[in-house]
Amino acid sequence: MVRIDFNRLRFLVVDDNAHMRRILRTLLHGFGTREVYEAEDGAGALEAFTHYMPDIVLVDWVMPIFDGLELTQMIRQPGSNANPYVPIIMLSAHSEKKRIVTARDAGVTEFLVKPISAKALYERILNAVANPRPFIKTGSYFGPDRRRGVNPNYAGPERRKDGKSEVIHQPQPDKAKVLI
């Protein structure tokens, strides 16, 4: 069984709703997290991200100044900050496939539909920490590999056949954060 040592992780919670930030903070503290930083909009989140260097970002989709998608794209710009590989978990009340695909294509690591449950939040965090996906860099995308699994028997058309994509294995997470 894999468990996470939450007291070693720093979280950034970004949501314009103070009540939702409080719920997330309470859940994270319940998991054992000690460091939870908050921002109420994308601009404050970018500032907090560079200042606190969180291990995981929980971000709402709809916010003032710039939204969760724009924040994700700013964080994912290689060379623009210290950790473009940080796991980003997007929160949204909208669960349409189009929105989930849009979030994935922006570089979101995991997607969580509101209202959230403690179990669902824990599972997304566990997946992001214990099973990090390699990052892909193409001319128009930098972020976690959008393919969840590799099927060696796949016979369809290749999606990256132009050969211009680069697979980047992100820096290994601190193994002390994951307990087996």
Query: With 80 as the cut, is the pLDDT of residue 124 above it?
Result: yes
pLDDT at 174: 54
Query: With 80 as the cut, is the pLDDT of residue 25 above it?
Result: yes
Torsion of CA 113, 82, 140, 61, to 10 degrees: 20
pLDDT at 20: 97
Q: Which long-range contacts (CB under 8 A, 24 or more apart) does 142-146 make?
A: 142/76, 142/77, 142/78, 142/84, 142/107, 143/76, 143/106, 143/107, 143/108, 143/109, 144/107, 144/109, 146/104, 146/105
The DSSP-derived string for the chain is: --EE-GGG-EEEEE-S-HHHHHHHHHHHHHHT--EEEEESSHHHHHHHHHHH--SEEEEESS-SSS-HHHHHHHHTSTTSSS-TT--EEEEES---HHHHHHHHHHT-SEEEESSP-HHHHHHHHHHHHHSPPPEEE-SS-EEE-S-SS--TT--S--SSTTS--EEE-PPPP-GGGEE-
Residue 159 pLDDT level (bands cut at 50, 70, 90): low
Task: Walk me through the domains of the chain, giving residue ranges and CATH numbers.
Answer: 3-148+160-179 (3.40.50.2300)
Q: Which of 54, 74, 55, 51 is nearest to 63 (CA)?
A: 74
Mean pLDDT of 3-13: 93
Query: With 50 as the cut, is the pLDDT of residue 103 above it?
Result: yes
Q: How far is CA 111 from CA 62, 89, 105, 144, in A?
A: 14, 6, 12, 13
Give the lowest-confidence range in 12-21, 33-42, 55-64, 75-84.
75-84
Which of the two residues, 118 and 136, has the higher pLDDT score?
118
Mean pLDDT of 70-84: 88
Residue 119 pLDDT level (bands cut at 50, 70, 90): very high
Per residue in 133-154, pLDDT (tens digit) is 888 888 888 888 877 666 666 5
Kindly report the pTM of this predicted structure.
0.86
